[in-house]
């Protein structure tokens, strides 16, 4: 659906076709924000998310591309601007997680995580720094495991610690532009990314670890993002831990 009203707030959500990304896209749409739902390889899932948003009365389009490819992401931002008139909110949920002890990690997996989690976030943040309108927000994704330090998460945590660092620097580089830059660090959240490869006992133990004694839901994380994307104009250069009190 085309909307040329430049007063409409517009969001681009990377990895927006499933899991936390889809919950974020749908939550922002409920706030009246026009949403570009980014996908890397599964356009059908992005189309499903777009259809759900439109059916609920929102505005959304799918946009594709490798987040680590600067040309693809430049084209994605171009498509959003052409469709909706600008970009106000950029949410980087796209990421991959491979778990292994550091001693036995396949370095190809390290490189894959580096490409998506670090370079991908950097490329999208770079475009966002150039294009997000005043009054906007850039929201990256870290992880609570930077605090809990669970074994087998070493390479993943290394990539997310880099995301935290670049987020805090970018917030200060955008001085005077009225753009906030923050990161959300979810705790254990019931998504395919988290549940994949974990047995029932492991999931149950993680669910009981937080004082609220449950796993997070994608909607829990989406609420944190909506807060940073909208009313939280005095929160800037921070990492918001959304984990039920786990750490």
Residue 197 lies in a domain: no
What pLDDT is stored for residue 7 in this prediction?
67
What pLDDT is stored for residue 202 in this prediction?
87
What pLDDT is stored for residue 132 in this prediction?
98
Q: How far apart are CA 134 and CA 178, in angstroms?
A: 5
Tens of pLDDT along 124-170?
999 999 999 999 999 999 999 999 999 999 999 999 999 999 999 99
Tens of pLDDT along 56-83?
999 999 999 999 999 999 999 999 999 9
How many independent structural domains does the chain possess? 1
Per-residue tokens: 245: 């009190």
Residue 176 lies in a domain: yes
Q: Which carries the bigger pLDDT value, residue 4 or residue 147?
A: 147
Q: Give the closest residue to 60 by CA, choosing from 25, 8, 18.
A: 25
Q: How far apart are CA 31 and CA 12, in angstroms?
A: 14
Q: 6 pLDDT exceeds 80?
A: no
Residue 85 lies in a domain: yes
Q: 48 pLDDT exceeds 50?
A: yes
Residue 53 CB: number of other CB atoms within 10 A?
Answer: 24
Instruction: For residue 68, give the CATH number of its domain.
Output: 3.40.50.720
What pLDDT is stored for residue 4 in this prediction?
42
Catalytic machinery residues? 156
Which band of pLDDT confidence, cut at 50, 70 and 90, is reported for residue 19?
Answer: very high
Residue 155 lies in a domain: yes
Reported in sequence order, the residue ranges of 110-156 that DSSP labels E, i.e. its strands, are: 137-141
Residue 107 lies in a domain: yes
Give the range of the structural domain holding residue 78, as residue numbers without chain letter: 10-187+219-242
Residue 211 lies in a domain: no
Q: 197 pLDDT exceeds 80?
A: no
Tens of pLDDT along 231-242?
999 999 999 999
Residue 201 lies in a domain: no
Q: 1 pLDDT exceeds 80?
A: no
What pLDDT is stored for residue 3 in this prediction?
41
Residue 170 lies in a domain: yes
């Amino acid at each position: 659906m085309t909307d040329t009203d430049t007063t409409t707030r517009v969001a681009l959500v990377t990895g927006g076709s499933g899991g936390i990304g889809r919950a974020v896209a749908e939550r922002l749409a409920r706030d009246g924000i026009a949403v570009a739902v980014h996908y890397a390889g599964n356009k059908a899932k992005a189309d499903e998310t777009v259809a759900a948003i439109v059916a609920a009365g929102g505005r959304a389009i799918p946009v594709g591309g490798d987040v680590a490819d600067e040309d693809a992401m430049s084209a994605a931002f171009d498509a959003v601007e052409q469709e909706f008139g600008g970009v106000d909110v950029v949410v980087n949920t796209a990421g991959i997680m491979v778990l292994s002890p550091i001693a036995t990690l396949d370095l190809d997996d390290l490189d894959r995580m580096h490409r998506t989690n670090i370079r991908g976030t950097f490329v999208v943040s770079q475009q966002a720094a150039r294009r997000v309108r005043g009054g906007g927000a850039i929201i990256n994704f870290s992880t609570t495991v930077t605090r809990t330090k669970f074994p087998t998460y070493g390479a993943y945590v290394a990539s997310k610690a880099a995301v935290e660092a670049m987020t805090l620097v970018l917030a200060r580089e955008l001085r005077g532009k009225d753009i906030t830059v923050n990161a959300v660090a979810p705790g254990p959240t019931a998504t395919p990314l988290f549940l994949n490869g974990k047995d029932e006992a492991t999931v149950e133990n993680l669910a009981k670890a937080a004082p609220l004694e449950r796993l997070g839901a994608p909607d829990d994380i989406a609420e944190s993002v909506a807060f940073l994307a909208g009313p939280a104009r005095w929160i800037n250069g921070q990492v918001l831990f959304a984990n039920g009190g786990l750490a």
